[in-house]
């Protein structure tokens, strides 16, 4: 990703973080009809990144999502799935996906903790490169794949303030 593009993406994310609490304040409570839920997951895993050679690996995942409450507790929306995995010696994979999701949050306006269940489907496109080395030669293999990925999860949404919450999620599928 180029530097100007990266700056635009970071600016949009920061603007969204500041706007979400003001949008949420307009509703009676967090999961009321008309509320917006903007969130996502970020995962960064690495090993051997400070080594000068061999044995390094890096995995980055970014999964933003947005939902709109069409009824109290019932939210519909969509999400993106972005992933890059790289091993310095022989493997690189990049994938991206998009798809709809639906969630149901249990609780009333005085509730500070909302249990929830969520389901979604993403159309995912991936590109993978792998290098296999034998004692005689090195062979590079590249392939692309498109698949449907289903997601079924549940968890708890802890409201830190009236418009900001922290979700803990367990994915089952």
Tell me the pLDDT tens digit for each residue of 55-85. Answer: 678 899 999 999 999 999 999 999 999 999 9
Domain housing 76: 3-171
- The mean pLDDT value for 83-104 works out to 91
Tell me the pLDDT tens digit for each residue of 123-146. Answer: 999 999 888 777 777 778 889 999
- Confidence (pLDDT) at 133: 74
SS3 letters across the chain? CCHHHHHHHHHHHHHHHHHHHHHHCCCCCCCCCCCEEEEEEEEEEEECCCCCCCCCEEEEEEEEEEEEEEECCEEEEEEEEEEEEEECCCEEEEEEEEEEEEEEECCCCCCCEEEEEEEEEEEEEEEEEEEEECCCCEEEEEEEEEEEEEEEEEEEEEECCCCCEEEEEEECC
pLDDT band at 21 (very low <50, low <70, confident <90, very high): very low
Query: What CATH number is attached to the domain comprising 39?
Result: 2.40.160.20
- Confidence (pLDDT) at 23: 45
Tell me the pLDDT tens digit for each residue of 110-128. Answer: 889 999 999 999 999 999 9
Domains: count for the chain = 1
pTM score > 0.85 for this model? no
Pair 171, 152: CB distance under 8 Å: yes
């Amino acid at each position: 990703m180029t530097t100007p593009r990266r700056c635009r993406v970071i600016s949009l994310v920061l603007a969204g973080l500041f706007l979400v609490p003001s949008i949420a304040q307009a509703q009676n409570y967090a999961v009321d009809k008309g509320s917006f839920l903007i969130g996502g997951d970020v995962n960064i895993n690495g090993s051997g990144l400070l080594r000068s050679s061999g044995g390094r690996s890096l995995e980055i995942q970014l999964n933003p999502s947005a939902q709109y409450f069409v009824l109290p507790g019932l939210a519909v929306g969509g999400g993106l799935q972005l992933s890059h995995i790289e091993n310095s010696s022989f493997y690189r994979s990049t994938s991206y996906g998009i798809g709809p999701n639906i969630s149901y949050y249990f609780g009333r306006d005085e509730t500070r903790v909302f249990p929830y269940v969520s389901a979604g489907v993403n159309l995912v496109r991936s590109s993978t490169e792998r290098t296999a080395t034998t004692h005689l030669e090195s062979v590079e293999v590249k392939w692309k794949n498109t698949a449907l990925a289903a997601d079924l999860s549940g968890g708890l949404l802890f409201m830190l303030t009236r418009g900001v919450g922290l979700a803990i999620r367990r994915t089952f599928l």
